[in-house]
Structure 1
Amino acid sequence: MSFVSLGDGSTRPTFFELVAAERLLPSLKSAVLYSLRVFVQQRPSLYALLRRGDEAFALVNLLLDRSSLYNSSATFAETLYGLRRVQQDTPGQSSSKPADLSRASQRRTLILQVALPYLFCKCNALFSHHRPQIEAPLGLTARRSLPADTPPPQGGSSSRAAASLAWLRRQALRLFLFGYPWLHAAWEGLRFGFQLLYLLDSSAFYSPELWLLGQSVVRVSGTELMEGERRKGQARQKQLQRTPSKPALLQLLQRGWLRATWAVADHTRNALILSVFGFKLLEWWYNSAEGRIAGQQKKPPPPPPNPPLPVVDGIDLPSDPGICGLCQRPRTNPAMLSISGYLFCYPCLHAHLVEHSHCPVTHISATQDDVWRLYKGE
């Protein structure tokens, strides 16, 4: 099962084919994590597996890409779109007969394809975890909220070593939180530049990873597909025809194991891509169903609660709602006390709270944080 287009004789894949192949793994990761969540709900004792979801998907990605690279010189996502990788020694357009990937190139590709997304995922998680702790409520700089940049104290050797290690960790965290957004922006800008050059037919490299590896992606022809299937069948037949000096029962079990392994390898790719489509279908179905249910069961908002009652010792409220109860004059620069809902002039209310620290009408304790300034719209 692959999304192969054999109508065009060009070996250069289109920009949209490469984008679709690039976005397949994130969709597959969502499907894998969703399956893990459903499985953990039935087996709560395996919650640690969900906490290691990134590592689990990296392992799945490693197995899929390893099999695809060694069999067809392409990643798992690229094989689904009828693409493969070739070695490009010099920048520019690929030659008429590009060189296939060597075993060393396949290993380098596998390491980069698995390690780079995993590292970026972990860096994003670390940055998202520490960002609320370093950002001030008003959007001030991160340095103001970070732990004090103090050198390790002098003391015993063990305490000094522990303090030095903690100080180094703070410095490393400070450096990471400062530099990671710039690094991420630079990497995304570099990727955009490579994709733009590829879209304009000015480069054979779709991404920086391909440029680092010296590889380009080409479209697989129908002849190459049939030749690959023929070679795979011949290799399997040779493996089955081997007759080692083993009992007949062991040979039968070995052949059965080989056939079962090949069947799993042949159908795992189809099962995974179908799981992606199934996940997207379920996601759309539940989102639309939740929207319909929310629209049908929408109820009017509850009435507001009754305001607190005035106390005997509180000030008398004027009959005119436009008069301030503190200065007994027309209210200017209005402000509301949120704990009671009464309006006063802002200077009058501020002075009263500084002196008494309670609402003038209900005597409920209040501070300056409970004052809401009101502005008239134009």
Structure 2
Amino acid sequence: MSFVSLGGDGSTRPTFFELVAAERMLPSLKAATIYSLSVFAQRRPFLHKLLDREDEVFAAISWALDRSSLATGSGTFAESLYGMRRAALRGSSSSTTRPTLSRTQQHATLLLLVAVPYIKAKLDRLYNQYRRQSEGPLGLTLRMQQQPEQQVPEGRSALAAGGRRLLLSIFLRVYPWAHAAQEGLRFAYQLLYLLDSTPYYSPLLHLLGQQVVRVSGQELVEAERQKQRQRRQQLQGIRQSSGPLIRWVKKAWTRSSFLFADHTRNALILSVFAFKLLEWWYTSAEEKLASNKALPPPPPPRAPLPVPGGCALPEDPSICPICRQKRTNPAMVVVSGYAFCYPCIFRYVSQHARCPVTHFPAGEEHIRRLYQSA
């Protein structure tokens, strides 16, 4: 199953958007896998152990999928879905030879495909964990200094603890810059690929000396023939084994493995689409429930009443209670909510430290200027 209709001789390189779509396939599959595990873990508590090791679980899944795709089609699982494969570059970037990957190249590709995202996920998790605990770049060191009651280790343990704190501090300082540099380099390669200035879509492809090319219809037919030929040879080898029961068990197991290999890819694709559909469904349902449960804002509190001996409120609300003139440059005392002229209320509060109407205690910091829109 492929998302792209294939044809031609495979000489046209993939578009930028096809490579982006293939690149985003595994993150979507990882999100679907984690979501499925979290749903099943609600009824099967032992699955929480897998959720605690989600990076390792998905690294194993990615290794199995990419290993099979690289062995059969010289491309990753996501690339094969979009009708692409990897080819080793020989000589200059303008070379037209596009040989398939050797066994050594497949192993190196698989190692980087699995190890780099796994290490990146672990570093992100470590950074986010200690960044929340710290209040600044040296938050860990400062926190240790603010706990004098904690027992201070001595000797080698003190040196080890100090070394760990120093390494964590350096990591918290350096990692954001390293992440930004990595993303910037990745963006530069994508931009150059979009401008047709390089055959490499990413720095990893450049490091491996590989480029992503389209799979022609002829290559697909030849790969299918070779796969069927290998399967027939495998079944013929089983027929020559001794014992009818052993032959029947081996044949059933082999045919089951063929069936599983043929339909696993389609099942994974459907699971990604199902996850996206469920995500959209539950998101829209939660938004509807949230909108239905929205309560009207509460009414404002009642204004405090003037006290005897305070400034009386004029009948015209635009008149300042202090100077009895049309209010200009209005300002409000936040402890009571009444508005005055800014010079009037500033002088009064500075002298009496209270609201002139309610006599609530107030300072200069409780005066707020009011601005009226035209």
**Using a 3 Å threshold, how does the CA distance of structure 1 residues 259 and 347 change in structure 2: closer, same or farther?**
farther
Question: Residue 262 in 1 paired to residue 258 in 2?
Answer: yes
Counterpart of 1:21 in 2: which secondary structure?
helix
**Separation (CA, whole Å) in 1 of partners of 2:221 and 2:130:** 52
The answer as to whether partners of 1:2 and 1:80 remain within 8 angstroms in 2 is yes
Q: Which amino acid aligns with 1:5?
A: S
TM-fit CA distance, 1:44: 2.8
Aligned to 1:173: 168
Same amino acid, percent of matched pairs: 50
Counterpart of 1:143 in 2: which secondary structure?
coil
**Separation (CA, whole Å) in 2 of partners of 1:6 and 1:81:** 9
Residue correspondence of structure 1 range 59-78 to structure 2 within 5 A: 59-78=60-79
The answer as to whether partners of 1:336 and 1:343 remain within 8 angstroms in 2 is no
Q: Which amino acid aligns with 2:41?
A: V
Deviations 1:142-174 (A, max 9, x none): 3364424999xxxxxx83222222212211111
Deviations 1:172-205 (A, max 9, x none): 1111111111111111111111112111222111
Deviations 1:217-269 (A, max 9, x none): 11111111111111111111111111465422122111111111111111111
Counterpart of 1:242 in 2: which secondary structure?
helix
Which segment is superposed worse, 27-36 or 142-151? 142-151
User: How large is the Cα RMSD of the aligned pairs?
Assistant: 3.8
Aligned to 1:277: 273
Q: Which amino acid aligns with 2:281?
A: W
TM-fit CA distance, 1:87: 0.9
Question: Residue 164 in 1 paired to residue 159 in 2?
Answer: yes
**Using a 3 Å threshold, how does the CA distance of structure 1 residues 115 and 342 change in structure 2: closer, same or farther?**
farther
**Separation (CA, whole Å) in 2 of partners of 1:147 and 1:374:** 43
Higher-Rg member (1/2): 2
**Using a 3 Å threshold, how does the CA distance of structure 1 residues 264 and 342 change in structure 2: closer, same or farther?**
farther
- The alignment covers a number of residue pairs equal to 356
Counterpart of 1:218 in 2: which secondary structure?
strand
**Separation (CA, whole Å) in 1 of partners of 2:350 and 2:130:** 37
User: Normalized against structure 1, the TM-score is what?
Assistant: 0.79
Counterpart of 1:204 in 2: which secondary structure?
coil
**Separation (CA, whole Å) in 1 of partners of 2:103 and 2:338:** 77
The answer as to whether partners of 2:137 and 2:173 remain within 8 angstroms in 1 is no
The answer as to whether partners of 1:336 and 1:374 remain within 8 angstroms in 2 is no
Aligned to 2:334: 336
Aligned to 1:155: none
Counterpart of 1:74 in 2: which secondary structure?
coil
**Separation (CA, whole Å) in 1 of partners of 2:363 and 2:231:** 80
Residue correspondence of structure 1 range 93-108 to structure 2 within 5 A: 93-96=94-97, 98-108=98-108
User: Normalized against structure 2, the TM-score is what?
Assistant: 0.80
Question: Residue 247 in 1 paired to residue 261 in 2?
Answer: no
Unaligned runs of 5+ in 2: 146-152
**Separation (CA, whole Å) in 2 of partners of 1:199 and 1:348:** 68
**Separation (CA, whole Å) in 2 of partners of 1:105 and 1:287:** 43
Unaligned runs of 5+ in 1: 136-141, 152-157
Q: Which amino acid aligns with 2:71?
A: Y
